[in-house]
Amino acid sequence: MSGAAARPAGSPGHRCPAMQRGAAALALALLAVLPCCRAHAKPQPHGARDQGNMNVLFIIADDLRTSLGCYGDPLVKSPNIDQLASKSIVFKNAFAQQALCGPSRTSFLTSRRPDTTRLFDHNSYWRTHAGNYTTLPQYLKMNSFVTLSVGKVFHPGIVSNHTDDYPYSWSIPPFHPSTQKYKNAKVCKGPDGKRYANLVCPVDVKEMPEQTLPDIQSTEEAIRLLKKIKSTGNPFFLAVGYHKPHIPLKYPEEFLKLYPLEEIHLAPDPKVPSKLPPVAYNPWTDVRSRDDVRALNISFPYGPIPDDFQVLIRQSYLAAISYMDTQVGRLLNALEEQGLANNTIVVFTSDHGEQRYVMYESCWSLGEHGEWAKYSNFDVATRVPLMFYVPGLTAAFPLPKQRVFPFINPFTGKVGNLPRGSMVESNVELVELFPMVCQLLGLPLPPPCPKPSFHVELCTEGEGMADLWNQGATSVANDESFVFTQYPRPADSPQPNSDLPLLDDIRIMGYSIRSNDYRFTEWVSYNPSTFTANLTDIHAGELYLHMSDPGQDNNLYNNLEFAALVRKLSALIKV
The burial of 158, by beta-carbon neighbours within 10 Å (0-12 exposed, 13-18 middle, 19 or more buried), is given as middle
pLDDT grade, residue 475 (50/70/90)? Answer: very low
pLDDT grade, residue 121 (50/70/90)? Answer: very high
Active-site residues: which are they? 101, 155
Would you say domain 17-574 falls under CATH 1.10.3720.10? no
User: Looking at residues 284-307, what average pLDDT do you find?
Assistant: 94
Task: Give the whole-angstrom CA distance, residue 445 versus residue 439.
Answer: 7
Q: Average the pLDDT over each of 140-154, 227-241, 345-359, 540-554 and give the range with the smallest value.
A: 345-359
| pLDDT score for 402 | 87
- Higher-pLDDT residue of 189 and 17 is 189
pLDDT digits (tens, 9 = 90+) for 560-575: 999 999 999 999 998 8
| pLDDT score for 40 | 32
| pLDDT score for 368 | 54
pLDDT over threshold 80, residue 473? no
pLDDT over threshold 90, residue 480? no
* Number of other residues whose CB lies within 10 A of the CB of residue 16: 18
Question: What's the chain's average pLDDT?
Answer: 86
| pLDDT score for 415 | 62
pLDDT grade, residue 503 (50/70/90)? Answer: very high
Q: What is the 3-state secondary structure (H, E, C) of 492-532?
A: CCCCCCCCCCCHHHCCEEEEEEECCCEEEEEEEEEECCCCE
Closest by CA position to 384, among listed 342, 355, 414, 413:
355
The CA-CA-CA angle for residues 290, 114, 500, to 5°, reads 20
- Classify residue 452 by its DSSP letter: S
- Higher-pLDDT residue of 546 and 248 is 248
pLDDT over threshold 60, residue 278? yes
| pLDDT score for 352 | 72
pLDDT digits (tens, 9 = 90+) for 142-171: 999 999 999 999 999 999 999 999 999 999
User: Looking at residues 412-437, what average pLDDT do you find?
Assistant: 82
The DSSP-derived string for 37-64 is --TT-----TT-SSTT--EEEEEEESS-
- Higher-pLDDT residue of 363 and 260 is 260
Q: How far is CA 545 from CA 462, 519, 550, in A?
A: 26, 7, 7
Strands 89-95 and 386-389: antiparallel
pTM above 0.75, yes or no: yes
Task: Give the whole-angstrom CA distance, residue 67 versus residue 373.
Answer: 15
- Classify residue 397 by its DSSP letter: P
Q: What is the 3-state secondary structure (H, E, C) of 122-167?
A: CCCCHHHHCCCCCCHHHHHHHCCCEEEEEECCCCCCHHHCCCCCCC
Q: How far is CA 250 from CA 56, 397, 567, in A?
A: 29, 38, 46
| pLDDT score for 417 | 64
pLDDT over threshold 50, residue 305? yes
Q: Yes or no: say if 488 and 47 are a contact pair by the CB < 8 Å rule.
A: no
pLDDT grade, residue 51 (50/70/90)? Answer: very low
Q: How far is CA 294 from CA 286, 290, 299, 479, in A?
A: 10, 6, 10, 48
pLDDT over threshold 50, residue 468? no
